[in-house]
Amino acid sequence: MIQAIGLTSNPRTDVPPAVDDVSFEAHAGHVTALLGASGAGKTTALRLMLELQPGRGITYFRGRPLHRIAHPQREVGVLLGDVPGHPARTVRGQLRMLCCAAGVPVHHADEVLERVGLVSLGHERLGMLSRGMDRRLGLACALLGDPHTLVVDDPVHGLSAREGRWLHGVLRAHAAQGGTVLFATGDPKEAARTADHVVTLDEGRLVADQTAAEFARTRLRPRVAVRSPHAARLGNLLTKEARAARRSVEVVHEDGNRLSVYGSTCAEVGEAAFRHGILVHQLADEIGDMGPPADADATTAVSPSMKTPEPGDLPASPPPVSVRAAPNPLRPLRYELHRTVGVATTHLVAAAALVASVLVSVFLARIGHTPPHRVTAAWPQELPLPPAALGAGLLGALAFGDEFRHPALSAHRGTVPRRLGLLAAKLVVAGAIALILAVLAVALDFEVLTVVFGGEVARVPADRFALFVSWCGLVVGCAWAGVLAAGIFRSTIAGVVVVLAVPVLVVPVLQQVLERPSVGTTAGLVARVRGLSPLQWPLGGERYLAAAVHVVAQPVGGALALSLTALLCAYLLTVLRGGAR
């Protein structure tokens, strides 16, 4: 069950709190509706309950606040608004990616798809889903962890009547299995028709806490809906007859040719229309809203039997609601792999980088006057970076840029958790892809040059090991720079700009510093490091150390190393300042 106690949002300047001291219960096995007009505080109350917004109060989910639950996705399924996701990702791919983040088996995605009726649309792109299908996907995301509690905000907004009935049927089935269901709505008829219990808010305060039957009896009243081309004439006749018979009948003229008749029946209205020869297109019984109670006597107070698991430990004043940081994916590496390969962007960028590398390499070999190692790397002097490095930087920037643009990990927060586990997973995956891209680019360039120009142009240099290590370090470093920059600035474009800024801005500054007479040189560094240890370096360690020194000693390598260090420090500072959000 859910126990919400003293929920109060933080007030703004000269504005009362959107939610003020709201307490209620939602019992297991029942569907509870949180009812209120627009601006009544329904969504704010849900966000306070889910610790998505700071304020005061506390909410227990089966006796525990949400921040005390080890795996929140397995206890509470949430659907607030639309489902954010990359429009090119498939429905099944989105759910499998979220399975990895929630720590549930990947095959559970197919089970949930069948449960919400989306099996046939498993390969459909998210950007092609209708409103109803998108709502079903959101419900599937909420059900992934097989939670005991479902919290849904305005479930049938924008849906057809058929889709709305289906969604309420799913919520009812979940409650029938012993789960707790809480949904917010602004439609009193929907609340009375689909809920077992109705909690009513008005201007941020609790005004009624009733069973659905009591709510329908005290807050709603029956009416006869009439549609006729002669609605005005029929309304006047009904009013005149009721006055003559001294009956309490109220006739309300709605938009167009519609009437709402209170205090009468379909039979009485139909007979009156027949007697006067008035054509009727619709005649049906409906339930109308009477609006919020006019005074405190009309409200039903919160049940005094509502108690917390440990009443003696509760303070007199509700504790503040501290916004809980978004949970770190339990398996960030698997999640990042699914996220990376789940859209065609990764493959298209890598393919474009390889094709551009081959074309530039052939062009450089054709015009001549370019060192052989630059020809193989497809890196002319006029370009700040070779195509493979630019492609790796773009893929790295997309790793975090797409995350912030489509925050699948924290759909209800609008942001992405800057956790070190998630960062490490992105660096590992981006580095692996960049390394594969670097090897393929050199291999393809070398093979194409051999076929087109023969062995004269495509020849292996003597210092090929150091050059290859430098090349791989450059491509992987660009990918990591894109990841860190996009994670700091929350933008793919910012990540690409930072990658380009390394050769364009940082390298010239570093060269000017190194050209000063007071600055020493790294010549002989390997020998000096070797002399610090009396033991022999294992597995040819001197060779790898020399290659690493060769990378850092170059202007671009040194600038990239400094930039990565600065970006990593900035990222850690952002994590600390943002409370690991």
Q: Could you say which DSSP state residue 66 is in?
A: G
Tell me the two tokens of residue 257: 């040719």
Q: Which residue did the predictor score with more confidence, 518 or 436?
A: 436
Amino acid at 83: V
Query: In whole angstroms, what is the distance from residue 449 CA to residue 365 CA?
Result: 8
Cβ neighbors of 435 (< 8 A, separation 6 or more) are: 472, 475, 476
Q: Record the tokens describing residue 425, joined without a space.
A: 């997973």
| Of 313-322, 428-437, 525-534, highest mean pLDDT | 428-437
- Residue 254 C-alpha from the chain's centroid: 41
Beta bridge pairs of residue 5: 58
Over 70: is that where the pLDDT of 317 sits?
Answer: no
Lowest mean pLDDT among 192-196, 433-437, 527-531: 527-531
Specify the higher pLDDT residue, 262 or 412: 262
Across the strands, what pairs with 199? Answer: 34, 209
With beta carbons less than 8 A apart as the criterion, state whether 480 and 571 touch: no
Which tens digits make up the pLDDT trace of 550-577? 555 567 777 888 899 999 999 999 888 7
How many secondary structure helices (H) and strands (E) does the chain include?
A: 20, 14
Q: How far, in Å, CA of 8 to CA of 48, rounded? A: 8
Give the neighbor-by-neighbor strand order of the sheet with 220-227: 250-253, 258-262, 220-227, 282-289
The DSSP code sequence of 106-169 is TTHHHHHHHHTT-GGGTTSBGGG--HHHHHHHHHHHHHTT--SEEEEESTTTT--HHHHHHHHH
Mean pLDDT of 492-521: 80
The pLDDT of residue 312 is: 43
Q: Which amino acid is located at 429 in the chain?
A: V
Tell me the CA end-to-end span of the chain in Å, nearest whole number: 28
Give the model's pLDDT for residue 43: 93
- Which helix (H) or strand (E) segment is 391 a member of? helix 387-405
How confident is the model at residue 315, as a pLDDT?
43
Residue 515 above 80 pLDDT?
no
pLDDT by residue (tens digit) across 361-401?
999 988 878 888 888 889 888 888 999 999 999 999 999 98
In angstroms, the CA 480 to CA 571 distance is 12
Measured in whole angstroms, the distance separating CA 336 from the mean position of its chain's CA atoms is: 15
Residue 414 pLDDT greater than 60, yes or no: no
Residues 391-404 have pLDDT tens digits of 999 999 999 988 88
Confidence label for 65 from pLDDT (cuts 50, 70 and 90): very high
> Which residues, listed in sequence order, are joined to residue 221 by a DSSP beta bridge?
288
- With cut-offs at 50, 70 and 90, classify the pLDDT of residue 530: low
Per-residue pLDDT of 216-262, as tens digits, reads 877 787 888 999 999 999 999 999 999 998 888 888 888 788 998 98
- In percent, how much of the chain has pLDDT > 90? 49
> In 10 A of CB 312, how many CB atoms?
5
Strand-pair category, 220-227 with 197-202: unpaired
Handedness of CA 177, 181, 186, 192 (dihedral sign): positive
Q: Angle at CA 94, nearest 5°, toward 89 and 97? A: 120
pLDDT of residue 184: 96
Backbone angles phi, psi at 35, to 5 degrees: -105, 140
Average pLDDT of the chain to the nearest whole number = 84
User: Residue 70: is its pLDDT beyond 50?
Assistant: yes
Query: Cα–Cα distance between 197 and 34 in angstroms, integer?
Result: 9
Q: Taking residues 410-433, report their average pLDDT.
A: 80
Q: What pTM value is reported for the model?
A: 0.75
For residue 34, the SS3 value is: strand
Element (H, E) at 151: strand 149-153
242/82: higher pLDDT: 242
Across residues 436-465, what is the average pLDDT? 83
Whole-number Å distance between alpha carbons of 360 and 347: 20
Task: Cite the beta strand spans of 160-227 per DSSP E.
Answer: 180-185, 197-202, 205-211, 220-227
Mean pLDDT of 334-353: 93
pLDDT score of 62: 93
- Secondary structure (DSSP) of 416-436: ----HHHHHHHHHHHHHHHHH
